[in-house]
Amino acid sequence: MTAKNQRLVLAGLAVLAVVGAALLALSALKDQAAFFYAPGDVEKSGLPLGREVRLGGMVAANSIARQPDGVSIRFRVTDGRATVPVAFTGIAPDLFRERSGVVAEGHFNPDGSFTATNLLAKHDEKYMPPEVAGAMHETKTLER
Amino acid sequence: MASLHAFANPARFLKIARPLTGWLFWTGAALIAFGCWAGLTQTPPDYLQGDSVRILYIHVPTAWLGMGGWSGIALSSIAYLVWRHPLANVAARAIAVPGAMFAALCLMTGSIWGRPTWGTWWQWDGRLTSMLLLFFVYLGYIGLARADREQGGDGRIPALFGVAGSVLLPIIRYSVVWWNTLHQGESIGLASSTIDGSMLWPLGFTLAGFSLFFAAVVLMRMRDMLARARNEARLRRMARA
């Protein structure tokens, strides 16, 4: 084996090691590196009480209720597996709306509800002009 | 391998690179200008994000070149380590600065978009954090390559760093698939896109334009480095004479 071939094999092994390291890092951090808890995770592994966490999911349809004080809202966050009721006082981002993604920062209460101190709107990967979105919305309504 | 060796010859490289630089630069600039004009005036706003969606025509090319730049450093580093071509070493060092610049632009445009869309400038989310790490790794590479050169090293240590740093590329790519992140999932796949066609098409122009611009900057820097090396060699010869 010539020196060049030897270096080629070594470089190949190095690339394999790098890819392996990336995959190991990704899977090892799978739970720790999650940006938020989904309602289904909480149901499975118990409430993370007594510390600040983030809760993420979809805002359930027809669940946003404005409170009489004018700055508080209540809504439900769902991921299809479980649903968590959330209370929030403050200014919600513009993209916060029903059937859209949300990440709430705050803490869980012992009764399973969530008190949020800050809301982030989570955008999904779909981008479309208003006409197309409107048309899709109409079809959905017609089907129903 | 004969053809690859031919391109590794600096004299032949310069003969091709000299006319190519201008062509790449001006074509790239024209494509960027047209893509930005089309993205700002010829496409509809998004149904949720409104006009802030238009930053994607800059953000996506900068993300692609920030990551593509490091792929170039890694490939050049492997070529240098295996075949010991000095030109591969020059190429890796030439890519580092524009690569770092595009990684920084990606973080900045993302932050500007995140404020109105998510309601925050920055969050320690998997995608954002791994991209920030790539930017720091670029800075580390630039410092290491410079130190190696000043100490009279042969560039093998920065090349090893170039290979090792590519560990971040799959992490950035799959962070949104494997982890819960604030950043949305992949919009543009190999075969399909979840961005409506009426909004997507200017992105092709800016992607191609920024890529050509990037290539032109890399060629300029490579020619600059080769000219410096030639000057230094000449000065050394004169000092000896």
Report CB contact under 8 Å: A134, B126.
no
Give yes or no for B111 touching A (CB within 8 A).
Answer: no
B169: nearest CA partner in chain A: A22
CA distances (Å), origin B61, targets A83, B58, B127: 38, 6, 16
Q: Which residues of B touch A18 (CB under 8 A)?
A: 163-164, 166-167
- Here the ipTM equals 0.74
CA distances (Å), origin A92, targets A109, A118, B233: 21, 8, 64
Do the beta carbons of residue B213 and residue B30 sit within 8 Å?
no
Report CB contact under 8 Å: B179, A133.
no
Which pLDDT value is given to residue A144?
Answer: 32
Do the beta carbons of residue B56 and residue B203 sit within 8 Å?
yes
Q: Which residues of B touch A17 (CB under 8 A)?
A: none
Q: Which residues of B touch A131 (CB under 8 A)?
A: 44
User: Per residue in B130-166, pLDDT tens?
Assistant: 999 999 999 999 999 999 988 888 889 999 999 999 9
Which pLDDT value is given to residue A138?
Answer: 43
CA distances (Å), origin A103, targets A88, B119, B204: 12, 10, 32
Neighbours of A33 (CB within 10 A): 20
**What mean pLDDT comes out for the span B188-201?**
80
Cα angle, residue B182 at apex, residues A101 and A123 outer, rounded to 5°: 40
Residue A68, min C-alpha distance to chain B (Å): 24
Written as tens digits, the pLDDT of chain A (144 aa) is 688 888 888 888 888 888 888 888 877 777 666 788 888 888 777 788 878 888 988 898 888 888 888 889 999 998 888 899 999 998 888 788 888 889 999 999 988 899 999 898 888 777 777 766 655 544 343 333
Which pLDDT value is given to residue A1?
Answer: 67
Domain boundaries of chain B, sorted by first residue: 54-186+196-240
Q: Which CATH class is domain A39-122?
A: mainly beta
Tell whether the model's pLDDT for residue B225 goes beyond 70: yes
User: Per residue in B5-48, pLDDT tens?
Assistant: 555 677 888 888 999 999 999 999 999 999 999 999 988 888 88
More confident residue, B128 or A140: B128
Tell me: is residue A123 an annotated ligand-binding position. yes
Rounded distance between C-alpha atoms, residue A27 and residue A90, angstroms? 36
Which pLDDT value is given to residue B1?
Answer: 44
Show contacts of B220-226: CB within 8 Å, 24+ apart. B220/B21, B221/B93, B221/B94, B221/B97, B221/B98, B222/B13, B222/B17, B222/B87, B222/B90, B222/B91, B222/B94, B223/B14, B223/B17, B223/B18, B223/B21, B225/B90, B225/B93, B225/B94, B226/B10, B226/B13, B226/B14, B226/B90
Rounded distance between C-alpha atoms, residue B80 and residue B156, angstroms? 8
What does the block give as tokens for B32?
């960027």
